[in-house]
């Protein structure tokens, strides 16, 4: 995971990352900012009802009452992509939220492949997974 973070931020920082081994929990997701964002206004103007982060590399947020939209889900992989979807019912929104967390995990796992092993096939698969994450 450290290598993934270094690749994303290599242009934005000249400092080397410390040699820290990152241990993921079984799920790898924790409440963003220790849950302090829950109940606050989100990026789509709604009230945040769930906000999770994957070890400072990805985040997914669900808001309710975002203007005239009942539910908005915003997710991103820091330095790589950002996307928002809108939903009319809670059940569909919650299912989408959980599915996107799993898909983000798959992409993050791919980035643990050393750069020397990232060939054209790897690049095509990464692009396919990112496209699926955004459009499905």
Mean pLDDT of the chain: 84
Mean pLDDT, residues 14-32:
56
Q: What pTM was estimated for this model as a whole?
A: 0.77
**pLDDT computed for residue 3 by the predictor:** 53
Chain centroid offset of residue 125 CA: 18
Q: Domain range spanning residue 110? A: 2-135
User: How many whole angstroms separate alpha carbon 98 and alpha carbon 93?
Assistant: 9
**pLDDT computed for residue 1 by the predictor:** 47
Instruction: Collapse the DSSP code of 71 into the 3-class scheme (helix H, G, I; strand E, B; otherwise coil) and give the result.
Output: strand
Phi first, then psi: give them for residue 114, nearest 5 degrees.
-55, 145
Number of structural domains the chain divides into: 1
User: How many whole angstroms separate alpha carbon 78 and alpha carbon 59?
Assistant: 8
């Amino acid at each position: 995971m450290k290598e993934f973070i270094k690749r994303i931020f290599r242009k934005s920082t000249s400092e080397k990352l410390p040699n820290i081994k990152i241990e993921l929990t079984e799920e790898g997701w924790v409440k963003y900012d220790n849950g302090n964002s829950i109940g606050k206004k989100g990026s789509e103007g709604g009230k945040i009802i769930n906000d999770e982060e994957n070890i400072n590399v990805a985040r997914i947020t669900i808001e309710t009452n975002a203007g005239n939209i009942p539910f908005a889900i915003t997710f991103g992989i820091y330095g790589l992509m950002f996307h928002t979807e809108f939903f009319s019912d809670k059940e569909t929104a919650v299912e989408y939220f959980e599915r996107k967390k799993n898909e983000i995990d798959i992409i993050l796992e791919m980035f643990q492949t050393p750069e020397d092993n990232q060939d054209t096939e790897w690049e095509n698969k990464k692009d396919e997974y990112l496209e699926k994450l955004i459009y499905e």
